[in-house]
């Protein structure tokens, strides 16, 4: 049977698309040999002449070049790095970046139970406006105009070290490096410790930006199921032994998205396993200030030997004042400082001055105490409201803003999130947090972003429809 010309043309295009896709996604890099005509014909179930025509056309475009007797090789330059997954073209909700973009859209009238921060009205507005006025009046020329010291403002580093001491982490201000944010801190550490292709352990589920930043580093990500007291220790040990990861990235205190808390026993076991396999741990303490009772810190047990502690004030003070930090061994801080200078100079002395001002005028502790009370008040109420919709918490956290919930049987949280957008309600579907993709029935809710009862109406509509 002879294929019709149309059919052949579309098959040629199909072969071309397969190669183009692999080059676009850096699965084939410059100079790499593309599959032989025979292999490609076999794989796509097309004739060899179809593949030959496709390869010839790609060569005419300059994407590949033929070498007589040897095959075809990629001739195009390296494709730019795209983080959005190819699947996202058809189903964007499956991608953590989709959730990030949606959450960061200007609020307008949108409701955002899926976002990861508190409403503006909860934030220390008087204190920040006061800090701005005081900076306008008394800020030095260096604070207003200069790059600032390589490691960042010393007063802020001293305050951070003092606050860590209260959590049992013994650290000198010289061991603290200021970054532009918590995400920036993780990114710097990944650059410092990883190479493309290295393996990293994360919790399953975990904060979705751990996935995107690791995608930027082209790391191999292994998830370990998370339990209400920390990672599943058997699975953790098995994963460490099988994959020899260089790094384990996790939350301190209140785990995102589950709100669970690491037990002392789990902390001890995790550290023992890390030690015996020379694995470094990044402990992200960004939600620490929401705790009512301080949970065990890996950084405290370990004394910042193989644990690197990161944090920021984005969740409790302001996400607009960009400033995060890394606390680690002295020699690592020296090298991380060079890396941060080379890739973005030093942290803003102006941001540091604003934070120091709010952290030291006495209002911050009262503000954080108020946040805890407001969250505690809402937690039970939101649990009741969700319960009436058949949505159940996987775990009831003692503090923090998140509830990790199971939707009614048969629900697909990505589909639910898509439908909710029609009502301008931004949700956070479970699989954005899950490397295994087994959280399709889960969703993270932010109890501080659910005062408006329109959320319930939308949820009722989108879950049952």
| Window 240-299: residues binding a copy of itself (CB under 8 A) | 246, 278
CA distance linking residue 298 with residue 283, whole number of Å: 7
Find the binder of a copy of itself among 5, 69, 106, 410 (CB under 8 A): 106
Q: At residue 344, what are phi and psi to the nearest 5 degrees?
A: 180, 20
Residues 126-155 that bind a copy of itself (CB under 8 A): 128-130, 132-133, 135-137, 139, 141-150
Residues 6+ apart with CB under 8 A from 394: 258, 404, 405, 406, 442
> Which span (1-9, 186-194, 255-263, 286-294) binds a copy of itself, by CB under 8 A?
186-194
In the complex, the smallest distance separating the C-beta of residue 84 from a copy of itself, rounded to whole angstroms, is 6
Residues 389-448 that bind a copy of itself (CB under 8 A): none
Residue (14 or 140) nearer to a copy of itself, CB: 140
Residue (128 or 273) nearer to a copy of itself, CB: 128
Find the binder of a copy of itself among 9, 27, 78, 86 (CB under 8 A): 78
Residue (206 or 407) nearer to a copy of itself, CB: 206
Examine residue 246 and say whether the peptide bond preceding it is cis (omega within 30 degrees of 0).
Answer: no
Find the binder of a copy of itself among 167, 181, 261, 434 (CB under 8 A): 181
Q: Please tell me whether residue 399 adopts helix, strand or coil conformation.
A: coil
Find the binder of a copy of itself among 193, 368, 389, 421 (CB under 8 A): 193
In the complex, the smallest distance separating the C-beta of residue 332 from a copy of itself, rounded to whole angstroms, is 6
Using rule CB under 8 A, residue 202 touches a copy of itself: no
Q: Between the CA of residue 36 and those of 14, 41, 69, what are the distances in Å?
A: 16, 8, 11
CA distance linking residue 215 with residue 183, whole number of Å: 13
Using rule CB under 8 A, residue 72 touches a copy of itself: no
Using rule CB under 8 A, residue 212 touches a copy of itself: yes
Alpha helices in 217-360 (DSSP H): 233-243, 264-276, 298-302, 330-344, 349-360
User: Exposure string (b/e) for 321-352, b if CB count within 10 Å is 16 or more?
Assistant: bbbbbbbbbeebbeebbeebeeeeebbbbbbb
The greatest distance separating any two alpha carbons of the chain, rounded to the nearest whole angstrom, comes to 86
Give the angle 94-433-384 at the CA atoms, nearest 5°. Answer: 105
Using rule CB under 8 A, residue 213 touches a copy of itself: yes
Residues 10-39 that bind a copy of itself (CB under 8 A): 26, 29
Residues 293-352 that bind a copy of itself (CB under 8 A): 314, 318-322, 332, 335, 338-339, 341-351
3-state DSSP helix/strand/coil % of the chain, to nearest 5:
50, 15, 35
Residue (7 or 105) nearer to a copy of itself, CB: 105
In the complex, the smallest distance separating the C-beta of residue 445 from a copy of itself, rounded to whole angstroms, is 19
Residue (182 or 257) nearer to a copy of itself, CB: 182
In the complex, the smallest distance separating the C-beta of residue 349 from a copy of itself, rounded to whole angstroms, is 5
In the complex, the smallest distance separating the C-beta of residue 320 from a copy of itself, rounded to whole angstroms, is 4
Q: From 219, 228, 190, 224, select the one nearest 206 (Cα to Cα).
A: 224
Residue (9 or 144) nearer to a copy of itself, CB: 144
CA distance linking residue 205 with residue 81, whole number of Å: 25
Using rule CB under 8 A, residue 80 touches a copy of itself: yes
């Amino acid at each position: 049977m002879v294929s019709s010309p149309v059919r052949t043309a579309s098959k040629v295009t199909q072969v071309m698309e397969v190669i183009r896709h692999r080059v676009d996604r850096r699965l084939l890099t410059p100079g790499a040999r593309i599959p032989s005509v025979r292999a490609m014909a076999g794989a796509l179930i097309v004739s060899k002449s179809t593949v030959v025509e496709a390869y010839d056309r790609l060569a005419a475009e300059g994407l590949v070049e033929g070498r007589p007797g040897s095959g075809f090789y990629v001739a195009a330059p390296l494709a730019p790095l795209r983080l959005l997954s190819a699947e996202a073209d058809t189903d964007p909700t499956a991608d953590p970046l989709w959730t990030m973009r949606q959450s960061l859209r200007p609020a307008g009238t949108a409701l955002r139970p899926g976002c990861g921060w508190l409403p503006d009205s909860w934030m220390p507005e008087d204190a920040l406006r006061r800090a701005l006025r005081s900076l306008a009046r008394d800020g030095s020329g260096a604070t207003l105009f200069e790059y600032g010291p390589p490691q960042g403002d010393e007063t802020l580093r001293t305050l951070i070290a003092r606050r860590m001491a209260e959590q049992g982490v013994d650290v000198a201000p010289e061991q603290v490096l200021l970054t532009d944010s918590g995400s920036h801190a993780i990114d710097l550490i990944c650059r410092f410790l990883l190479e493309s292709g290295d393996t990293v352990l994360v919790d399953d589920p975990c904060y979705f930006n751990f996935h995107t930043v690791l995608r930027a580093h082209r790391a191999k990500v292994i998830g370990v199921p998370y339990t209400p007291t920390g990672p599943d220790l058997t699975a953790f040990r098995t994963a460490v032994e099988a994959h020899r990861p260089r790094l384990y990235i996790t939350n301190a205190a209140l785990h995102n998205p589950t709100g669970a808390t690491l037990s002392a026993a789990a902390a001890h076991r995790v550290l023992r396993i890390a030690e015996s396999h020379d694995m470094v741990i990044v402990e992200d303490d960004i939600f620490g200030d929401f705790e009512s009772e301080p949970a065990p810190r890996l950084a405290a047990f370990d004394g910042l030997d193989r644990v690197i502690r990161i944090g920021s004030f984005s969740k409790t003070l302001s996400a607009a004042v960009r400033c995060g930090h890394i606390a680690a061994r002295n020699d690592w801080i020296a090298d991380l400082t060079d890396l941060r200078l080379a890739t973005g100079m030093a942290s803003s002395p102006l941001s540091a001055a604003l934070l120091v001002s709010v952290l030291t005028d006495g209002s911050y502790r009262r503000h954080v105490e108020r946040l805890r009370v407001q969250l505690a008040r809402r937690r039970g109420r939101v649990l009741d409201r969700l319960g009436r919709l058949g949505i159940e918490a996987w775990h009831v956290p003692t503090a923090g803003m998140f509830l990790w919930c199971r939707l009614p049987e048969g629900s697909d949280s990505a589909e639910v999130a898509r439908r909710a957008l029609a009502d301008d309600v931004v949700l956070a579907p479970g699989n954005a947090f899950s490397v295994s993709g087994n959280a399709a029935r889960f969703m993270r809710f932010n109890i501080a972003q659910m005062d408006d009862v329109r959320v319930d109406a939308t949820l009722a509509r989108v879950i049952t429809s």
